[in-house]
Amino acid sequence: MKLDRVALWSASFDDVPWAAPREAVGAERDGWGTLWLPEFFGREVVSLAALCLSATSDLVVATGIAKVWARDPLALRAAQQLLGEAHPERFLLGVGVSHPIVAKRRGGADAPELSPLHRLRGYVENMDASPYRDHEAPPLPRVIAALGPRMLELARELTDGAHTDSSPVSHTARAREVLGPDKWLIPEVKVMLGRSTDDARALASQFLPVRLPAYRANLLPSGFEEADLDGARASGSSMPSWPTAMSMTFVLGSRRISQRARIKWS
């Protein structure tokens, strides 16, 4: 499977009728080679990936990420195999535990006995052990959502790589050290477009996901301080002490995709 070094990440499909995003997938004609789809509380991401694959001819479609709470390991493996058969070399599965707020709405609050690390390990191992009608089916590519070193080590051990999110470039360098040179590292990097540095920081502070503990914990080792992150929680507050290496923002995407798209480097 060939992944472009720059790809499109978009949650815009949740907000518009299907006829509109189907046209948006024409971004393939604009030169985009890979489209990443998240899963929040809108469209079911595997079904959405199938529709996007069917509407295009060469576009690689990836899930960033499919939540473990939404389907059991056998179901996700069967879905991955089906899309892999129907669209060879064009579907990349990204899977992850996500955040407590998502787990709670998906029933995960009833199973707090496992840590995210152990839960994802068990899920991936159960995917591999799940029966499939074609026992000779080749393994298909898979990445997991990972931020911390232990989750990155799990990505190195059991999958083809890691999908990181809302992280500065310094974290990307550390993640590469953990993964080694041969695994995929696919970070989501936000870039703010503003008239000035202060304007960009003030706008970005409204959208930083620092209310989610995993992202907050991941930003502190990268030069952020508690005061920076607390400031980001207040809508419109500026963060003048932001590390200059971090450009945490939204970006423009394809002409046909909402401006809430984001750029990824593979």
> Residue 236 pLDDT more than 80?
no
- The mean pLDDT of the chain is 79
Q: How confident is the model at residue 261 (pLDDT cuts 50, 70, 90)?
A: very low
- Is 32 within 8 Å of 7 (Cβ atoms)? yes
What's the whole-model pTM score? Answer: 0.82
Overall average pLDDT of the 192-214 stretch? 73
Share of the chain above pLDDT 70, in %: 78
Average pLDDT for 165-169: 84
One-letter amino acid identity for 15? D
Confidence of residue 138 (pLDDT cuts 50, 70, 90): confident
Confidence tier at 254 by pLDDT (50, 70, 90) = very low
What's the pLDDT band for 182 if we cut at 50, 70, 90?
very high
Phi first, then psi: give them for residue 152, nearest 5 degrees: -65, -40
Tell me, what's the pLDDT at 232?
A: 58
Tokens of 112: 């707090």
Q: Which long-range contacts (CB under 8 A, 24 or more apart) does 19-25 make?
A: 22/51, 22/55, 23/256, 24/254, 24/256, 24/257, 24/258, 25/52, 25/55, 25/56, 25/59
Burial of 108 (0-12, 13-18, 19+ CB in 10 A): buried
